């Protein structure tokens, strides 16, 4: 891991931040690729890169190398999922419980709970940011950024992380309610 960090940056603090950034990007890449457990895949990707470094392999371009490893991990993960799907498809006579409306209700309850758990400024920020853009012009977001005294891309980044936390909270809430 030390070698991996050293490849990212000579400064340990900067290296730590770059590690977190690469991990988050890998998580999203696996997410976008439709992998069921993106975080596990991201960690697996980094572990493989670290091992390569420990084995003495020289890696000049960490992002490109990580992407190459991630592509393989994606393929492996999708293959596992396909295998599971095939095995499930073989169970032709297993009834599917009509729980959609119940899921929607649980979703709503968890959404309301997690939204109310957000700090009020974050709650107001995310609701205002995602107002229907057909009615509210895009300049609304620029106005928000101006009011907060931050650039527009910084506002976007902040809102996306609030939304990500909201999703994580709801996922956790649903898993608890289902168990």
Partner 1 sequence: MMKPDIQENLVRRYLLGDLPESDTNELEIQILRDDEKFEEMWEIENRLVDGYVRGTLSASDQERFERHYQASPVHRQRVAVAKNLVEEADRSGAAVAHVSAKESSGARLFEKFNFSFLSWQFATVAAMLLFAVAGLWLFLDRSRLRHEQEQLRAESQSRQDREDALSQQLANAKAESQKLESEIERLRVERNGSVQPPTQPELTQRPTIYSLLLSPMLMRSSDSPQTARIPSQTDQVRLQMRVDQENARRFQVSVRTVEGRQVWEQQIKPRAGRATTSIISAQIPVSRLPVGDYILTLSAINSTGQPEEVNRYFFRVIGQ
What DSSP letter does each residue of 82-148 carry, written as one string? HHHHHHHHT-TTPPPP--HHHHHHHHHHHHHHHHHHS-HHHHHHHHHHTS-TTTS-THHHHHHHHHH
Judged by CB under 8 A, which stretch of 4-12, 51-59, 67-75, 90-98 contacts partner 1?
67-75
137 and 170 in contact (C-beta within 8 Å)?
no
Residue 27 beta carbon to partner 1: minimum distance, rounded to whole angstroms: 10
User: Can residue 174 be called a binding residue for partner 1 (CB under 8 A)?
Assistant: yes
User: Can residue 153 be called a binding residue for partner 1 (CB under 8 A)?
Assistant: yes
Task: Tell me whether residue 56 or residue 135 sits nearer to partner 1 (CB atom).
Answer: 135
Per CB under 8 A, the list member of 127, 142, 143, 146 interacting with partner 1 is 127
| Dihedral of alpha carbons 43, 44, 46, 51, sign | positive
User: Can residue 157 be called a binding residue for partner 1 (CB under 8 A)?
Assistant: yes
User: Can residue 16 be called a binding residue for partner 1 (CB under 8 A)?
Assistant: no
Per CB under 8 A, the list member of 3, 9, 15, 25 interacting with partner 1 is 25
């Amino acid at each position: 891991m030390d070698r991996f960090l050293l490849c990212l940056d000579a400064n340990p603090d900067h290296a730590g931040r770059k590690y977190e950034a690469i991990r988050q990007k890998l998580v999203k890449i696996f997410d976008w690729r439709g992998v069921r457990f993106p975080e596990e895949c991201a960690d697996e990707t980094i572990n493989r890169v670290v091992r390569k470094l420990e084995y003495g392999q020289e890696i000049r371009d960490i992002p490109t190398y990580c992407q190459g490893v991630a592509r393989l991990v994606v393929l492996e993960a999708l293959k596992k999922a396909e295998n599971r799907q095939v095995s499930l498809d073989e169970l032709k006579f297993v009834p599917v419980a009509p729980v959609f409306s119940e899921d929607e209700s649980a979703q709503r309850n968890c959404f309301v709970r997690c939204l109310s758990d957000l700090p009020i400024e974050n709650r107001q920020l995310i609701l205002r940011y995602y107002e229907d853009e057909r009615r509210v012009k895009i300049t609304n977001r620029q106005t928000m950024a101006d009011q907060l005294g931050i650039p527009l891309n910084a506002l976007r980044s902040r809102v996306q992380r609030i939304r990500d936390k909201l999703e994580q909270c709801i996922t956790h809430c649903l898993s608890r309610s289902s168990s």
